[in-house]
Amino acid sequence: MNNNNMTEHSTPFPHREGLGVRSKIYIAGHNGLVGSAIWNNLKARGYENLVGKSHKELDLLDPVAVKAFFDEEQPDAVVLAAAHVGGIMANLQYRADFIYRNLQIQQNVIGEAWKHGVKKLLFLGSTCIYPGEAPQPMPEDCLLTSPLEYTNEPYAIAKIAGLKMCESFNLQYGTNYIAVMPTNLYGPNDNFHLENSHVLPAMIRKIYLAKCLNEGDWEAVRKDIGLRPVTIKNTDKRVDADSTEEDILFVLAHYGITPEAVTLWGTGAPMREFLWSEEMADASVHCLLNVDFQDVVENSDFVVNHDGIKEIRNCHINVGTGKQLSIKECAEKIVAEIGFKGELRWDSTKPDGTMLKLCNVDKLHRLGWHHTIEIDEGIHRLYEWYLQGICINHQG
């Protein structure tokens, strides 16, 4: 355990010995969108000593189980990619779940990492930590400068607590914990649930199902919902591959999916930045292997307050593309990619969420990483992955 009481913030933070390919790295959330991509990225770089546990194997909400895991495994490094996440509808309806579960996961994993002397920890947050009306593009130092967007406030507060835990352990105990804040992510192993997924995969599935209905391709519809059955929340209405056409049409219409049109939430006006998940993984691994807390400090500007104390804060790193497009433009790109011939409609009675949400990625660029996959290529890749998954599972 590292119990050195670090009180002099003016003392330079040491650069650490890097993680060798034999280092044991625990990836919390290794089956998820980002965690699985980080796992694969490390494997491709020659890191074989990776540890991952499914939720059934290790409940990160259970502090006793987490302690026992760290006692047994003694990892050299930790990537905290596990989180309780969802789209705007889920954030609105399950506010307590989002703040409680994420705080608990972070408390358990970061706390045990410190107690067990983990050399390096990478914490993954989200750019929803920033104010609802943050300056555009959003720099790291606009954190906590004005109110959060209401819809995802509980989740954002949990993630702010996580990055502040990392920052505070570094300042007090000289640890080497890095916090990265990714923009909206999409990619392989994404969640395509019609209610709880993020905007881009949800639009892909909705528009794909509408295309199949529009073309009368009931075999494709049944393959899709056979793999991912659809339920209307708080009802007994559930459809799968064996359901009647009448029931399938009724349930899909509830989610705005008909042969003639797809209806999406809001106005389509909000601007969003999207990052391919495998690129997020590459940026994360870059930070894990090549960036120390000292590097972040050196690439940040800090104020000295009226008491003469240098305020070392906002040491997290935005990860994104620095480019944005409207939700409507994104939906139109998906329509073109999928080839849907019906109408795209918008339900303005539903919330839009934050209107502007573009990352300032200057710090990330200074630390040596840039994105390469643009949105058109990403949409094509994700749609191809989605179709391949339906075919493989159907054949299996």
Instruction: Give backbone dihedrals phi and psi of 185, rounded to 5 degrees, phi first.
Output: -110, 155
Cα(237)–Cα(247) distance, integer angstroms: 8
Cα(174)–Cα(3) distance, integer angstroms: 9
Structure tokens at 92: 């609105």
Q: Which residues are catalytic?
A: 155
Using the predicted structure, report yes or no on whether residue 312 has a pLDDT greater than 70.
yes
Element (H, E) at 26: strand 25-28
Cα(334)–Cα(329) distance, integer angstroms: 9
Using the predicted structure, report yes or no on whether residue 11 has a pLDDT greater than 50.
no
Cα(62)–Cα(302) distance, integer angstroms: 37
What percentage of residues in the chain have a pLDDT greater than 90? Answer: 82
- Banded model confidence at residue 393, pLDDT cuts 50, 70, 90: low
Looking at residues 49-63, what average pLDDT do you find?
A: 97
Using the predicted structure, report yes or no on whether residue 47 has a pLDDT greater than 50.
yes
Instruction: Give backbone dihedrals phi and psi of 248, rounded to 5 degrees, phi first.
Output: -60, -45
Output the pLDDT for position 326: 97
